Structure 1
Amino acid sequence: MLSIGEFSKICEVSTKTLRYYEEIGLIRPDEINPENGYRYYSIGQLQKMLFINRLKSYHFSLEEIRAVLELEEDQSEEKLYSALHRKRRELQERLHALEYTLNQMSNDILNLEKGIPMMSYLDKIEVQLVETRPMNILYMREMLSRDDYAAGYGNYFGRLYEKIAAEKLTLLGTPMTIYHSPEYNPAGNDTEFAIPIKEPVKGTRDLPGGLCAKAVLKGSYLELTSLYAKLREWVENEGYTLVKSPYEVYVTDPNQAAGPEEMVTEVYFPIKKK
């Protein structure tokens, strides 16, 4: 048996962390001395602790690790395989975001060296006044947290596409997201996922057409906040007011794009004159 101190030293996990892991049921000592409360771990538990450390190094949360550890033996390999694939996709997305940020920083540095203001890119965003047509949309509405946004929208649109395929519905456009919350809340935001279709079946609704301020982004979704800021400024300066929730239309599928620079997204602000 190994004392908690020796177990801690071998696995490079503090005794405080081991006690916390015991508290949340992640890994418990094999033996606790009832007289003095000393904790002891078995040699066999070293492998379990190394497994936990390995998943932590892959950026699994403690909740995700516990879910993996609680799997039945006959399911564990298959579920672990799926979990690793999912986490790898998440890390690849973060890596791409970091690469994009580094390129953006390099461009800002070059512009500053040339005497070009860092925020001058906002002046290049073009805003158009357009009249949109009504649409019949198949939709689902969810409260999404910041972590949900980071994980991406594929799961939600996937469920809509599954229904379209199962019921042989007719596509009339590309996916869109409508943001209904009046303010940003990291804990949860009212978000509607939609796909325009022909048939008015259960789970569809009318999206009214009307006057909109529109801007187009060709690039990473990370730049969308710049479009929202530019559109809001344009609406104010031109004497309009926002009348419905803004929405995004994803003209290109991110999975089909060669890189962020190939992705095209349209942002619409439904408006009317003040």
Structure 2
Amino acid sequence: MLSIGEFSKICEVSTKTLRYYDEIGLIHPDEINPENGYRYYSIKQLTKILFINRLKSYHFSLEEIKDILEWEQDHFEEKLSTALNLKKRKLQEKLRTYEYTLKQLNSDVLNLEKGISMMSYLNKIEVQLVETKPMNILYTRQMLSSDDYTFGYGKYFSKLYETIATEKLTLLGTPITIYHSEEYNPAGNDTEFALPIEEIVNGTRELREGLCAKSVYKGPYSELTSVYAKLTEWIENEGYEMVNSPYEKYITDPTQTTHPEDLVTEVYFPVKKRS
């Protein structure tokens, strides 16, 4: 048996953290002396704490780790492999985001050294007024938190594609996201995912035609807030007002490119002239 201090030293986890792990049910001491309350861990528990440390290094939360430890042994390795692959994709996405951010930061530093405003890129975002045609869309509508956006998109669009394949429907265009919430809420936003199709079936509706302020943006989705700001400014300056929820069309499939700067997105703001 190992004292809590010895166990702590070997696995490089503080005794305070080990007590917290015990409190939340992550790993309990193998034995507690009833007379003095001293905690002891078995040699076999070293493997468990190393497993916990490994999952933490992969950015699993303590809650996620606790769930994994409670899985039944049947198909444990298979389920763990699935969880690791999902975490891997999330980390790869974050890595691509950090790489783009570093590239952008370097560009801003160079511009400032040349006397160019850091926000001058906004002037490169073009806005045009277009008349859109009505579209029949297959859709699903969800309350989605900010943390769910990146991976939630794939999940809900995948379900729509599955419906198209199962029911042998005719796809007519690229994916669309429509934002219905009147204000941004990190806890959840009313988000509609849609695919334009030919057939009018259960689960479809019409995305009406109308006048729209439109911008085409090439770059990562994280920068679309700049496009929204530019469109809002243009609408105000040109004497228009919003009449419906804004939406985005994804011209480039994000699964087909490893470079965020290659993504192409069209942003539409339905508008009318102010009276």
TM-score of the pair, normalised by structure 1: 0.96
Post-superposition offset of 1:188? 1.1
The two structures, once aligned, show a CA RMSD in angstroms of: 1.3
CA contact (8 A) 2:97 2:260 kept: no
Alignment-mate amino acid for residue 154 of structure 2: G
Cα distance between partner residues in 1 of 2:203 and 2:50: 47
1:96 is matched with which residue? 96
Cα distance between partner residues in 2 of 1:47 and 1:80: 16
1:202 is matched with which residue? 202
Cα distance between partner residues in 2 of 1:58 and 1:129: 47
Cα distance between partner residues in 2 of 1:180 and 1:238: 24
Cα distance between partner residues in 2 of 1:89 and 1:268: 30
Tell me the SS of whatever aligns to 1:73. Answer: coil
Tell me the SS of whatever aligns to 1:74. Answer: coil
Instruction: Summarize the Cα distance change of 1:209–1:50 in structure 2 as closer, same or farther, 3 Å threshold.
Output: same
Cα distance between partner residues in 1 of 2:239 and 2:267: 19
Cα distance between partner residues in 1 of 2:22 and 2:164: 47
Tell me the SS of whatever aligns to 1:72. Answer: coil
1:37 is matched with which residue? 37
2:253 is matched with which residue? 253
Post-superposition offset of 1:35? 3.0
Alignment-mate amino acid for residue 108 of structure 2: D
Alignment-mate amino acid for residue 12 of structure 2: E
Alignment-mate amino acid for residue 14 of structure 2: S
2:49 is matched with which residue? 49
2:9 is matched with which residue? 9
2:193 is matched with which residue? 193
- Whether 1:224 aligns to 2:245 is no
CA contact (8 A) 2:129 2:211 kept: yes
Post-superposition offset of 1:105? 0.7
Cα distance between partner residues in 2 of 1:36 and 1:141: 58
Post-superposition offset of 1:152? 4.9
CA contact (8 A) 2:181 2:190 kept: yes
Cα-to-partner distance string for 1:52-95 (whole Å, 9 max, x where unaligned)? 00010011111221222122212111111111111111111100
Cα-to-partner distance string for 1:176-212 (whole Å, 9 max, x where unaligned)? 1111111111111111111111111111111111111
Tell me the SS of whatever aligns to 1:216. Answer: strand
1:176 is matched with which residue? 176
Cα distance between partner residues in 2 of 1:146 and 1:5: 41
Cα distance between partner residues in 2 of 1:181 and 1:190: 5
Alignment-mate amino acid for residue 205 of structure 1: R
- State the number of aligned residues: 274
Cα distance between partner residues in 2 of 1:257 and 1:146: 23
2:151 is matched with which residue? 151
1:24 is matched with which residue? 24
Instruction: Summarize the Cα distance change of 1:44–1:258 in structure 2 as closer, same or farther, 3 Å threshold.
Output: closer
Tell me the SS of whatever aligns to 2:184. Answer: coil
Alignment-mate amino acid for residue 142 of structure 1: Q
Tell me the SS of whatever aligns to 2:130. Answer: strand
CA contact (8 A) 2:96 2:259 kept: no
Paired-residue identity, %: 75
Post-superposition offset of 1:151? 3.1
Cα-to-partner distance string for 1:86-133 (whole Å, 9 max, x where unaligned)? 111111110000000010011111111111111011011100101111
1:241 is matched with which residue? 241
Alignment-mate amino acid for residue 230 of structure 1: K
Tell me the SS of whatever aligns to 1:136. Answer: strand
* Structure 2 gap segments, 5+ residues each: none
1:262 is matched with which residue? 262
Post-superposition offset of 1:38? 2.3
Cα distance between partner residues in 1 of 2:171 and 2:25: 48
Post-superposition offset of 1:257? 2.5
CA contact (8 A) 2:139 2:193 kept: yes
Tell me the SS of whatever aligns to 1:174. Answer: coil
Instruction: Summarize the Cα distance change of 1:20–1:146 in structure 2 as closer, same or farther, 3 Å threshold.
Output: farther
CA contact (8 A) 2:31 2:39 kept: yes
